[in-house]
Amino acid sequence: DDDPDRVPKPRRRLSPGRVLRFALLAILGWILGSLVLFLISAQLQREGVSDSAGSALDSSSNTLTSPNTILVLGSDARTKETSEPGSSTGGPSRSDTILLMRAGGGASARLSIPRDTVVDIPGHGLNKINAAYAIGGPALAVETVKAFLGIEINHLVEVNFANFPDFIDALGGIDLRTGCVVSRINGGFKNGGYTLRLKAGENHLDGKQALALARTRKNECRPSENDLTRARRQQKILGAIKGRLVSPATFIRLPIVSWAAPKAVRSDMAGPSLLGLFGSVATGGSPTTRVLKPSGVTTLPDGGAGLEVSEAEKQAEVARFLR
């Protein structure tokens, strides 16, 4: 077989075009695989989710190409391990976070409602707006916000506090400029809760820190902070999440992020619609971020106090939100 006159075949070299094709196929497979993981994870999260809020929601359109209004809720439910004085794991939880998002079709706006805002809860009279969730669950929370602001709500998203930290960790954490923060969530470490300590300046937060910061209401560094401060802080966290979603580093982690993202929320939306929402949030422009400002303090029928928002303030903020 060893023929001295035989000319050896030249080795086939990978041309730049072939390398490019391989790279494009690998990238396409990476993206498609991540999309499949997202849709599977989203479907798993929908199982067991009550459809009771569905009747309260208005008809919707494509969450990626058309503007939709989404109500985002986060409850103040305690973990069973906490021994914080006055906390309860058995009673109904109130909505700790009440945030409206306008997303899709290039729309990008966020409007926070302070949880102590006094409203007329349909069928239950005057109360703080966060009581609607405790009284009638997500359906009544949707109806209450719609009646209070006079707007349509197309979708509902409930933040899953148990899985939210995993989503942030899947992103590789978030970067956020904050003031000094010392906060004891659910009584702090000594009571089975969580203690957050952040220095003033740029901070890199992991999942537990991001959740604790979003829930922080009483800051020992600044005792004068209130619900309005927390609402603005929550909007900054959303902005930081958006920044991570579009960062090149996230592409490397895309399968992990795609699996974790749907687990961080519970929603009426099926996988494709939820994917469209995440896509529109990630690719939308810089959002208009606002917080309803109270005009004063008012007295509730039970003698308690809450925040009053003027009709002029409501109309002005809703107009900005829907613009």
Helix (H) or strand (E) holding 308: strand 305-308
Q: Is the pLDDT of residue 30 over 90?
A: yes
Q: Which CATH class is domain 40-171+242-322?
A: alpha beta
pLDDT mean over 137-152: 96
Boundaries of every domain in the chain: 40-171+242-322
Helix (H) or strand (E) holding 74: strand 68-75
Helix (H) or strand (E) holding 35: helix 16-46
pLDDT mean over 121-136: 95
Which is nearest to 322 in space by CA: 72, 149, 138, 97? 149
For 94-119, the pLDDT digits (tens) are 788 999 999 998 899 999 999 999 99
Q: Which residues contact 126 (CB under 8 A, 6 or more apart)?
A: 118, 119, 120, 300, 301
For 44-83, the pLDDT digits (tens) are 876 545 566 778 899 888 888 899 999 999 976 554 544 4
Q: Retrieve residue 43's tokens.
A: 């479907």
For 197-237, the pLDDT digits (tens) are 999 999 999 999 999 999 998 999 999 998 899 999 999 99
pLDDT level of residue 18 (50, 70, 90 thresholds): confident
Whole-number percent of the chain with pLDDT over 70: 88
For 281-294, the pLDDT digits (tens) are 888 878 889 999 99
pLDDT level of residue 84 (50, 70, 90 thresholds): very low
Distance in angstroms (rounded) separating the CA atoms of residues 46 and 277: 16
Which is nearest to 96 in space by CA: 113, 83, 84? 113
Q: How long a stretch of residues is the chain?
A: 323
For 169-185, the pLDDT digits (tens) are 999 999 999 999 999 98
Q: What is the pLDDT of residue 82?
A: 44
Q: What is the pLDDT of residue 181?
A: 96
Which is nearest to 293 in space by CA: 278, 311, 279? 311
Q: Which of 13-17, 42-46, 129-133 has the highest mean pLDDT?
A: 129-133
Q: Is the pLDDT of residue 297 over 90?
A: yes
The DSSP output letter for 254 is H
